[in-house]
Structure 1
Amino acid sequence: MTSRRGFMAGLVAAGACPRLSWADAGSPAFLSAGRAPNGHYAVFGLGRDGQPIFEIPLPARGHAAAAHPHRPQAVAFARRPGRFVIVLDCVTGREVARLEAPEGRHFYGHGAFSKQGDTLFTTENDYEAGQGCLGVWDVTNGYARVGEFSSGGVGPHDVRLMPDGQTLVVANGGIETHPESGRAKLNLPTMLPNLTYLSLQGEVQEQVTLSADERLNSIRHLDVRSDGLVAFAMQWQGDLSAARPVLGVHQRGQGPELMSMTHAEALTMKGYGGSVVFWAKGQRLAVSSPRGNRVQLFDVAGRHVDGKLELEDVCGLGVLSDALIASAGTGEVFQVRQQATRLWQSGVAWDNHLVAVNRGA
């Protein structure tokens, strides 16, 4: 891979390289941040067998990434409350652009491209105002910042493009933070998480909040089914003895629904939903908890738990064909059908998310 990357870099430098695709980067199935065995942080491309295809260094710990829908480019996001977002060419390994949060802002670790890939949206904290916003970046103009708009709440973490290609759904976690206070949560007595649906121009189309007894369940991570059903993973901010379900779903025009689970099942998750993904053709859901060392599996139609996996420090979740893929801080990557099978063991401590790459574009 090193010689291939050097060869491609030479073509780019010579101006002789045609338009590149994800196939030129080795056809990765996923992107993931991680800590390499030497202790350095990087973003990795993972193949269908769970093995790293490429590794590109980062200046500090990453959280998630966004894969451009057409170009072999990865946008790597710093862990909250980080200020760096780096656009990387996954063929040559070079830095394409480094996005800087404006004064009074910091990034929240996630972003989403428009359907055509000409715009990038980033979740951000306007920390002096105590409000969330989405930064808007023009990809065709070297990822220049061209604006921002309100996220519709406090503490926006994840953002996804809806299947219509015209709507963004934002997980406003409800937690106010400030860089001077590190990761301290400043407004727990009044926090109010929500899901907000926005046009690509920032107009609020729909917004839903949780019930009063779920107010301390911070909405953090998202997945979207092809019919627009949104799954959201939450992180409980109250007493763990009163832990609530950490997974819910929402269909536009209706109220949010939490997945049914016993109190004991909620306690095993330690109040922490790490990643969430639809799988089995959208009929099942999975949510991970690195704190609870497990993945809970759900029947979507029945809205209830129908299985569990006990995996140490598991967090990243993805889908390949009919199989669930899970990555862990132990360096392991698992494939799940009827049970979990280890695909790959490495020295990389995988971080929170597996980000799917649209290699068909």
Structure 2
Amino acid sequence: MRGPKNGQIKTDRRGFLTGLLAASLAPRLTWADAGDPAYLAAAREADGTFALFGLSLNGTDLFRIPLPARGHAAAAHPTRPEAVAFARRPGTYALVINCVDGNVMHRLTAPKGRHFYGHGTFIDDDTLCCTENDVATGEGRISLWSRSAGYARIGDIPSGGIGPHDIKLMPDGKTLVVANGGILTHPDTGREKLNLDTMRPNLSYVDPASGPVETITLPPELHQNSIRHLDLRADGLVAFAMQWEGELGAPVPLLGLHIRGPNPIDAEPILAEPAPADLAALKGYAGSVSFDGTGKRIAITSPVGGKMLVHDLEGGDWLWPRRDVCGVASSPSGFLVTDGLGGVFRIIGEQAENLALANRAWDNHLVKIG
């Protein structure tokens, strides 16, 4: 067999080097290439199909990407126009979607004996963290996935509790905070809650390299108050929303606050205490939580109660009635809110402005990008 001629070798090498140069000079896609969305939200369409939407600050649609099944939350890459859409728990897959062309770039599959809990976050440009359940042990885990390796799974660490749900990266850029709901589930029984009598939720701070470094628990009488969702303020103040799993009687707190101090072991959570009638209207269920754009007010939503409660850290609360309200995120001077009736609202002070109404049902969460 004859080998290639010298000229052919030079041509191939030149072509190879030219390709490398072209790749290095290729434009780096950003969220601006996807329309510069401010939020991500999943929804069920009128025909029963599902999709992921990118929304502007004013709540208008910027893109629509079909999903194979009902979504829950999504994780937005900090700089690239990529979203990781999670199946509703207990799901075993998540889709990495290119928000410019709508293509599915990768499918993350939980290993045998694991399932996702519907939330995740990036801790840098390369590493995605997802909350998971170890079915055999019931232990919460945080799985790590590398974007540069094609979103390959590169390990996992303990979440610090049972039933990890929401997860956020703290403002220090190196610590995770995890809402361990305390509820044990098993794929064989779907969403059935298996340990309500003994559940013990907590808020865990986790080092991605080693695991939990601090755990915050509720008073014993609130051990059935499942810590589910989180939001952060720039100074590290954590707001967490809870769902009461006991018998409904006297209203229980549904919004908690915590900030790490110089003596973390002494830092107890602060539980907001709105008027009992306002709290009772939420029917023991807070579905989402968010600071507003000023950082002075916090909203929790209750699709069960059909209400949103806004708690002012400087004093005072406001209850807004809206059927099937759940998604909430900060906007520059207030909140953006979505509901199961297709509505998108801007809340400033105690005024609600209807920005959009579409023939779709928005799902639980409105995810802020950036």
Q: TM-score, normalised by structure 2?
A: 0.90
Matched residue SS, 2:365: coil
Is the CA contact 1:274–1:289 (under 8 Å) kept in the aligned structure 2? yes
1:143 to 140, 151, 176: 151
1:277 to 272, 286, 290: 290
2:357 to 315, 337, 345: 345
TM-superposed CA distance for 1:17, in Å, is 5.2
Letter in 2 for 1:309: W
- Please, which moves more after superposition, 163-172 or 196-205? 196-205
Task: Work out the number of aligned pairs and report it.
Answer: 342
1:4 is matched with: none
Letter in 1 for 2:300: V
Matched residue SS, 1:38: coil
Show structure 2 runs of 5+ residues with no match: 1-21
1:181 to 184, 189, 202: 189
* Aligned residue runs from structure 1 range 290-329, under 5 A: 290-302=303-315, 305-329=316-340
Matched residue SS, 2:46: coil
1:200-238 Cα offsets, whole Å, 9 max, x none, are: 213321111000111110000000110101000000001
1:331 is matched with: 342
2:215 is matched with: 207
1:357 is matched with: 369
2:281 to 268, 286, 295: 268
Is the CA contact 1:231–1:247 (under 8 Å) kept in the aligned structure 2? yes
Is the CA contact 2:92–2:116 (under 8 Å) kept in the aligned structure 1? yes
Show structure 1 runs of 5+ residues with no match: 1-13
Over 3 Å counting, the alpha-carbon distance change for 1:351 and 1:113 in structure 2 is: same
TM-superposed CA distance for 1:318, in Å, is 1.1
Distance in 2 between residues matched to 1:51 and 1:349, nearest whole Å: 15
Letter in 1 for 2:295: G
1:165-221 Cα offsets, whole Å, 9 max, x none, are: 010000000000000011110001110000000112133211110001111100000
Distance in 2 between residues matched to 1:230 and 1:240, nearest whole Å: 26
1:22 is matched with: 31
TM-superposed CA distance for 1:242, in Å, is 3.2
1:56 to 51, 61, 65: 65
Distance in 2 between residues matched to 1:176 and 1:30, nearest whole Å: 31
TM-superposed CA distance for 1:28, in Å, is 0.7
Distance in 2 between residues matched to 1:309 and 1:131, nearest whole Å: 38
Aligned CA-pair RMSD: 1.3
**Structure whose CA Rg is larger:** 2
Is the CA contact 2:290–2:329 (under 8 Å) kept in the aligned structure 1? yes
Is the CA contact 2:160–2:211 (under 8 Å) kept in the aligned structure 1? no
Distance in 1 between residues matched to 2:69 and 2:92, nearest whole Å: 10
Question: 2:103 matched to 1:94?
Answer: yes
Question: 2:133 matched to 1:133?
Answer: no
Is the CA contact 1:236–1:243 (under 8 Å) kept in the aligned structure 2? no
TM-superposed CA distance for 1:312, in Å, is 1.2
TM-superposed CA distance for 1:79, in Å, is 0.5
Identity fraction in percent: 53
2:234 is matched with: 226
Letter in 1 for 2:339: A
